[in-house]
């Protein structure tokens, strides 16, 4: 029996790498003769680098960049040896995980550090640049990242705007001086959401509350992104307001699309290509995937749903492990530990136990 173990992160408790290792340990305890192919996956958010580093040969690079509140942090990115591609996890700079709950400031949080990572990676002249944009603390339309790459943002009086999404409500003019490397290699933004920049399903309405925005602040950020979209359209001819995926990472995807000509693609599709997911799926007899919460969002382009869909299309049995589940068909940590806090605190041993119990039930 050859098993492909391909989970995403169990948010708040286990990285995709840790989840895959726990599942594998449980299976080996019950079925030591089975062959296990570990393939932790990501849809472009936190954990992207860890998932790819296990799957392909890559060199880790680092640069000192700014976090969402302007503090210096060490941001990592990868250079893939075989393809020459650079892979950036934007959350290394603008990720919500950099902030304590009391520090979340959706109005002021800025993506400048993402632009610094892009500039550092671009200096190495990659064959292609992949930018995963999930897990952000920012709602600034990517203005901060663009500022780091040569853009300046002015109000009606000609004053330069301060960092953060709220300031974009006063935006009148964008002065864009493209970096010299622009156009030398293709750029792809990898995201797991199809949200437009503006509107009821956009960056501010759907995601800003998770980043600390009050209802009044959500209204302000929506107004700011509407203004940003209008000025961007005037400057570039690109209409971001209804563009699918432009609202990812607080509009970072849209900003990079408009000014860097970055293609917006499914994060799962990007990672699947780099890790040769299709080939490894074809070689497997059975597939195991999973995540922290298996719910309706899992079926809307996220890793667990996409892996299960691909496995079934290939005629492969699929097993789903999850922390909790609103959908049928998953084995959950809640089956072993009904207390959610304890389940998250002891996720690794519980996941090992869950996998071992499943494996022991299977024919030898």
What domain range is 329 assigned to?
A: 2-40+285-361
Q: What is the full per-residue pLDDT of the chain (364 aa) written as tens digits?
A: 999 999 999 988 998 999 999 999 999 999 999 999 999 998 888 889 988 888 889 999 999 999 999 999 999 999 999 999 999 999 999 999 999 989 999 999 999 999 999 999 999 999 999 999 989 999 999 999 999 999 999 999 999 999 999 999 999 999 999 999 999 999 999 998 889 999 999 999 999 999 999 999 999 999 999 999 999 999 999 999 989 999 999 999 999 999 999 999 999 999 999 999 999 999 999 999 999 999 988 887 789 999 999 999 999 999 999 999 999 999 999 999 999 999 999 999 999 999 999 999 998 7
Number of structural domains the chain divides into: 2
Whether 191 maps to a domain, the answer reads yes
Q: 316 CB contacts (<8 Å, ≥6 apart)?
A: 281, 284, 285, 286, 287
Q: Tell me: do 222 and 103 sit in the same domain.
A: yes
* Inter-residue contact 99 to 53 (CB < 8 Å): no
Whether 349 maps to a domain, the answer reads yes
> Model pTM greater than 0.85?
yes
Terminal Cα-to-Cα distance of the chain (whole angstroms): 9
* Inter-residue contact 323 to 14 (CB < 8 Å): no
Q: Tell me: do 36 and 110 sit in the same domain.
A: no
Q: Tell me: do 102 and 140 sit in the same domain.
A: yes
Q: Say whether 139 sits in a helix, a strand or coil.
A: coil
Q: Tell me: do 289 and 163 sit in the same domain.
A: no
Q: Tell me: do 90 and 21 sit in the same domain.
A: no
Q: Tell me: do 250 and 324 sit in the same domain.
A: no
Sign of the C-alpha dihedral computed for residues 115, 120, 121 and 125 taken in this order: positive
Of 235, 268, 301, which closes a domain?
A: 268
* 133, containing H or E segment: none
The CATH number for 129's domain is: 3.90.1510.10
Q: Tell me: do 36 and 63 sit in the same domain.
A: no
* 265, containing H or E segment: strand 263-266
Q: Tell me: do 75 and 205 sit in the same domain.
A: yes
């Amino acid at each position: 029996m050859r098993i492909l173990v391909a989970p995403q992160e169990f948010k708040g408790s286990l990285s995709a790498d840790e989840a895959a290792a726990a599942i594998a340990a449980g299976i080996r305890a019950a079925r030591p003769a089975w062959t296990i192919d570990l393939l932790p996956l990501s849809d472009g958010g936190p954990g992207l680098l860890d998932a790819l580093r296990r799957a392909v040969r890559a060199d880790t690079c680092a640069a000192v960049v700014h976090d969402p509140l302007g503090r210096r942090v060490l941001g990592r990115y990868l250079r893939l040896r075989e393809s020459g591609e650079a892979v950036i996890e934007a959350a290394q700079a603008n990720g919500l995980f950099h902030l304590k709950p009391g520090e979340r400031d959706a109005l002021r949080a800025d993506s400048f550090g993402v632009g610094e990572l892009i500039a550092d990676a671009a200096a190495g002249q990659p064959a292609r640049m992949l930018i995963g944009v999930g897990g952000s603390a920012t709602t600034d339309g990517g203005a901060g990242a663009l500022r780091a790459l040569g853009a300046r943002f002015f109000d009606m009086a000609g004053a330069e705007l301060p960092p953060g999404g709220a300031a974009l409500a006063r935006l009148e003019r964008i002065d864009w001086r493209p970096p010299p490397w622009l156009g030398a290699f293709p750029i792809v933004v990898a995201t797991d959401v199809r949200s437009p920049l503006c509107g009821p399903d956009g960056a501010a309405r759907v995601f800003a509350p998770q980043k600390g925005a009050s209802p009044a602040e959500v209204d302000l950020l929506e107004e700011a992104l509407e203004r940003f979209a209008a000025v961007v359209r005037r400057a570039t001819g690109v209409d971001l307001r209804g563009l699918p995926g432009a609202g990812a990472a607080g509009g970072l995807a849209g900003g990079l699309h408009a000014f860097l000509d970055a293609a917006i693609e499914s994060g799962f599709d990007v990672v699947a290509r780099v890790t040769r997911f299709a080939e490894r799926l074809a070689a497997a007899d059975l597939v195991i995937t999973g995540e922290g919460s298996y719910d309706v969002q899992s079926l809307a382009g996220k890793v667990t749903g996409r892996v299960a869909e691909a496995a079934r299309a290939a005629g492969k049995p699929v097993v789903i492990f999850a922390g909790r589940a609103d959908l049928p068909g998953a084995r959950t940590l809640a089956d072993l530990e009904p207390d959610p806090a304890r389940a998250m605190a002891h996720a690794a041993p519980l996941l090992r136990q869950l996998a071992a119990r499943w494996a022991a039930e299977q024919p030898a």
